[in-house]
């Protein structure tokens, strides 16, 4: 029999005193004293203490229960003799009159501090923890506020297909075989990009969607093979419209879900400045330690390595961490980071008792004076310097800068939210491996028309695109652009990235055709909700804000997917599996 509950465990308090209540939940803890037992009963609202008299035949059955059993309890709320100030419901307890054991639990395969592997295998039990309950509810609040906000602003949510078509460029697609057309495949969407542009052509005007996106690439702590984006698109809109729409949205949502106030508009930085000063296209602006170019001031005489570098046009760049002296081991770790980014090495200089200390000062005729002065090195500081091609030096120092951030805890997690627009991304970059140009953002981005005229043939990497990223605390949380709504211009872009006219015809004729029917100028953006929620909650991993996440191997430990399928299914799809390699 089901006890129809009158209250949730966490809502019981002194106001219920003397009342007969019914609560349902899971046993969290049993403390058995022989003549009676305390049972901590948990539901999604919290814990309340039940008191079972064990001298009563029916109630003594609680002794057969273990943690995890699902039970219903009818009892009287009474004020406690010994209150527990650590428990929200610690003023009261429930004297049990009758109860029902709904289902029996196996002993829990998880403990209070389970490993990631155990958590993922028994995710449904992990979800019963306070943290996961809080995170799922918080996520719901964020999405609800987004829907409310955009609905009020005249946006409508439109669903787009999951069984979709392979897009050019970008990530590896997840493919779904077609049974009715053997040898043909759907692709799961990497984003609803083309559909939302078609919705603009279709007169929807203001669209959004909480949409699932799929990318078959290697995973990270903040990257899952399927993830959730807030996809937004506006007709007759440009950068400024998207910026102000997004700023208003984030300000409203952040206030409603966290109570925090963020600025009404976010600072902006060009891609070029981000790269040269922060060594990253997603700069963490919560702290300083910017990268300086000291090529001009640097006197390399005597140090062959540096002389040669400057001879071939390399840059000398550096940054200073004030009043810190990293250890030998830490410097080694930073050197490895710099090398990973392509730098030949990492020089360092310390200022102690007015003298420069550095492993390279003995080579330099000026002992490193020109470099440290240019960087403004002061007593007790340490400077890190890289001599490499401009972008390599910046990226290497960008990695060093983040290492120092984490080493010395230079930012307080969660407390501050630093939003930043990064603009003026390049339209194209040259892919050495493939021997062709690719788009930095995606091919549907509007290139700067003047740059296009000027550089398309001679220097395509100089062409700027009308795209932008939104960065929060050093993490990319949204990406968008003004779209290319002019068919001939769109064709030019496709040509530049090496799509032949046959390929174009085969894969995109529908889209190019659609562009011919009075496409409104339009622009959009797509914030990644998993990351945004992760940052607001201060979680280390995106997995902690997703109910059923996958491992770094893109597997689900709970369902054991992916898995083999029956031969019958493969035959139906006319698929033969090649197990070689």
Partner RNA sequence: GGAGCUGUAGUUCAGUUUGGUUAGAACGCCUGCCUGUCACGCAGGAGGUCGCGAGUUCGAGUCUCGUCAGCUCCGCCA
Query: What are the residues binding RNA (CB under 7 A)?
Result: 29, 31-36, 38, 40, 49, 51, 66-67, 80-84, 86-87, 90, 93, 107-118, 120, 167, 169-172, 190-191, 193, 215, 217-223, 340-341, 438-443, 479, 540-541, 543, 551-553, 555, 557
Query: Residue 559: left (phi > 0), alpha (psi -120 to 50), or beta?
Result: alpha
Residues 6 or more apart whose CB falls under 8 angstroms from that of 480 comprise: 232, 242, 467, 468, 469, 470, 523, 524, 525, 526
Closest CA to 194 of 218, 171, 166, 217: 166
Q: Please answer whether residues 208 and 232 qualify as being in contact, where contact means their C-beta atoms are separated by less than 8 angstroms.
A: yes
In the complex with RNA, which residue's Cβ is closer, 193 or 388?
193
CA distance 355 to 181: 76
Minimum Å distance from CB 451 to RNA? 17
In the complex with RNA, which residue's Cβ is closer, 220 or 352?
220
Query: Residue 175: left (phi > 0), alpha (psi -120 to 50), or beta?
Result: beta
CA distance 246 to 341: 33
Q: 536 by DSSP, 3-state: which?
A: helix
Residues 6 or more apart whose CB falls under 8 angstroms from that of 329 comprise: none
In the complex with RNA, which residue's Cβ is closer, 231 or 252?
231
Minimum Å distance from CB 527 to RNA? 13
- Residues pairing with 30 in the sheet: 39
> Which residue shows structure tokens 């310097």?
385
Q: Please answer whether residues 417 and 473 qualify as being in contact, where contact means their C-beta atoms are separated by less than 8 angstroms.
A: yes
In the complex with RNA, which residue's Cβ is closer, 107 or 518?
107
Minimum Å distance from CB 84 to RNA? 3
CA distance 560 to 461: 45
In the complex with RNA, which residue's Cβ is closer, 29 or 574?
29
In the complex with RNA, which residue's Cβ is closer, 143 or 558?
558
Minimum Å distance from CB 370 to RNA? 31
Minimum Å distance from CB 477 to RNA? 13
Number of C-beta neighbours around residue 389 at 10 A: 16
In the complex with RNA, which residue's Cβ is closer, 369 or 405?
405
Residues 6 or more apart whose CB falls under 8 angstroms from that of 550 comprise: 219, 224, 225, 226, 556
In the complex with RNA, which residue's Cβ is closer, 234 or 371?
234
Minimum Å distance from CB 108 to RNA? 6
What b/e string do you get for 203-238 counting C-beta neighbours within 10 Å, with b at 16 or more?
A: ebbbbbbebebbbeeebeebebbbbbbbbbbbbebe
Minimum Å distance from CB 555 to RNA? 4
In the complex with RNA, which residue's Cβ is closer, 110 or 176?
110
> Which residue shows structure tokens 């406690």?
80
Minimum Å distance from CB 237 to RNA? 18
Minimum Å distance from CB 208 to RNA? 16
The residue length of the chain stands at 581
In the complex with RNA, which residue's Cβ is closer, 35 or 415?
35
Peptide bond into 418 cis (omega under 30): no
In the complex with RNA, which residue's Cβ is closer, 369 or 462?
462
Q: How far is CA 361 from CA 243, 408, 412, 501, in A?
A: 48, 26, 36, 58
Q: How far is CA 463 from CA 242, 365, 440, 458, 569, in A?
A: 22, 42, 11, 10, 49
Minimum Å distance from CB 337 to RNA? 7
Minimum Å distance from CB 225 to RNA? 9
């Amino acid at each position: 029999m089901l006890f129809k509950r009158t209250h949730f465990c966490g809502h019981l308090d002194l106001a219920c005193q003397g009342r007969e209540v019914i609560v349902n939940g899971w046993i969290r803890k049993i403390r058995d004293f022989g003549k009676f037992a305390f049972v901590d009963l948990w539901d999604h609202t919290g814990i309340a203490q039940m008191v079972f008299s064990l001298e009563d035949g029916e109630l003594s059955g609680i002794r057969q229960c273990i943690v995890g059993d699902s039970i219903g309890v009818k009892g009287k709320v009474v004020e406690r003799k010994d209150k527990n100030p650590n428990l929200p419901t610690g003023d009261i307890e429930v004297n049990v009159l009758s109860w029902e054991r709904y289902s029996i639990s196996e002993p829990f395969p998880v403990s209070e501090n389970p490993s990631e592997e155990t958590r993922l295998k028994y995710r449904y039990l992990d979800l019963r923890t306070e943290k996961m309950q809080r995170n799922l509810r918080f996520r719901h609040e964020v999405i609800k506020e987004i829907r409310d906000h955009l609905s009020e602003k005249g946006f409508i949510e439109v669903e787009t297909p999951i069984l979709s078509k392979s897009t050019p460029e970008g990530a590896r697609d997840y493919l779904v075989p077609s049974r009715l057309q053997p040898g043909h495949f759907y692709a799961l969407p990497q984003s609803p990009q083309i559909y939302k542009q078609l919705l603009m052509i279709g007169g929807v005007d203001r669209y959004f969607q909480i949409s699932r996106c799929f990318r078959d690439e290697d995973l990270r702590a903040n990257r899952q093979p399927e993830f959730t984006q807030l996809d937004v698109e506006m007709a007759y809109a440009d950068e400024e419209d998207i910026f102000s729409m997004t700023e208003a949205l984030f300000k409203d949502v952040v206030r409603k879900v966290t109570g925090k106030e963020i600025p009404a508009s976010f600072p902006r930085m060009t891609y070029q400045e981000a790269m040269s000063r922060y060594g990253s296209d997603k700069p963490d602006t919560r702290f300083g330690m910017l990268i300086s170019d000291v090529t001009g001031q640097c006197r390399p005489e005597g140090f062959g390595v540096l002389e040669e570098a400057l001879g071939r046009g390399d840059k000398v760049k550096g940054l200073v961490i004030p009043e810190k002296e990293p250890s030998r081991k830490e410097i080694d770790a930073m050197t490895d980071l710099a090398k990973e980014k392509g730098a030949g090495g990492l020089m360092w200089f310390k200022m102690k008792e007015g003298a420069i200390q550095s492993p390279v000062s003995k080579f330099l005729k000026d002992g490193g004076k020109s470099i440290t002065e240019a960087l403004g090195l002061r007593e007790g500081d340490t400077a890190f310097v890289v001599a490499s091609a401009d972008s390599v030096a910046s990226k290497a120092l960008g990695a060093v800068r983040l290492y120092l951030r984490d080493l010395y805890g230079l930012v307080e997690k969660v407390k501050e939210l630093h939003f930043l627009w990064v603009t003026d991304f390049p339209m194209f970059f040259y892919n050495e491996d493939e021997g062709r140009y690719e788009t930095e953002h995606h091919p549907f981005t509007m290139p700067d028309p003047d740059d296009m005229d000027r550089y398309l043939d001679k220097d395509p990497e100089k062409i700027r695109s009308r795209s932008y990223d939104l960065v929060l605390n050093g993490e990319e949380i949204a990406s968008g652009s003004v779209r290319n709504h002019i068919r001939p211009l769109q064709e030019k872009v496709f040509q530049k990235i090496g799509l032949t006219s046959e390929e174009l015809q085969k894969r995109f004729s529908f889209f190019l055709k659609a562009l011919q029917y009075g496409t409104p100028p339009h622009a959009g953006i797509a914030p990644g909700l998993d990351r945004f929620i992760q940052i607001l909650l201060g979680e280390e991993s995106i997995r902690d804000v997703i109910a059923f996440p996958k491992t770094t191997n893109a597997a689900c430990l709970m369902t054991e997917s992916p898995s083999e399928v029956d031969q019958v299914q493969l035959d139906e799809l006319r698929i033969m599996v090649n197990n070689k390699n």
